[in-house]
């Protein structure tokens, strides 16, 4: 009985490695959990595409976050990020990166300048 459990655990470890082609981090895109992914309808799914990528594409007919995709497909977020990056490169999906962090930095900088001006009065 323990041999079956051990082989299943090994299979669970190897499968994500195969899905990502051995990659553990994205090369180009800096995706976060809330990054939205949407299918590009004009790009048909290739018959030779791995099933995990097909599942990502089909789940993204409406915009979905990276976290939602991972939960729906029962995959690790890191694996989903790499699959999405591959699908962006192949033109099957597009991502909407929220630049809220830089906007927050700009807002904080402006508030700091205003505060400094008020103190100088």
How far is it, in rounded angstroms, from Cα 26 to Cα 64?
Answer: 19
Question: Is residue 111 predicted with pLDDT exceeding 70?
Answer: yes
Where do the domains of the chain lie? Answer: 2-120
Query: Comparing 14-18, 52-56, 64-68, 111-115, which segment has the lowest mean pLDDT?
Result: 14-18
pLDDT for residue 93: 94
How far is it, in rounded angstroms, from Cα 78 to Cα 31?
Answer: 10
pLDDT for residue 5: 44
What integer is the mean pLDDT of 84-99? 86
Number of H-type helices and E-type strands within the chain: 5, 3
Q: By the 8 A CB rule, do 49 and 83 touch?
A: no
In this predicted model, which residue has the larger pLDDT, 120 or 5?
120
Nearest to 66 by CA among 105, 75, 58: 75
pTM: 0.64
Element (H, E) at 93: strand 93-96
In this predicted model, which residue has the larger pLDDT, 18 or 79?
79
């Amino acid at each position: 009985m323990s041999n079956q459990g051990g082989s299943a655990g090994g299979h669970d470890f190897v499968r994500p490695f195969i899905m990502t082609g051995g990659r553990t981090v994205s090369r180009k895109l800096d995706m976060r959990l809330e990054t939205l992914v949407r299918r590009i309808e004009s790009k048909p799914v290739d018959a030779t595409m791995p099933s995990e990528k097909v599942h990502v594409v089909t789940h993204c007919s409406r915009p979905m976050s990276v976290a939602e995709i991972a939960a729906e497909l029962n995959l690790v977020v890191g694996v989903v990020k790499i699959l999405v990056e591959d699908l962006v490169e192949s033109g099957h999906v597009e991502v909407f990166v929220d630049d809220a962090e830089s906007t927050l930095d700009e807002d904080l900088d402006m508030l700091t300048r205003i505060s400094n001006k008020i103190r100088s009065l």
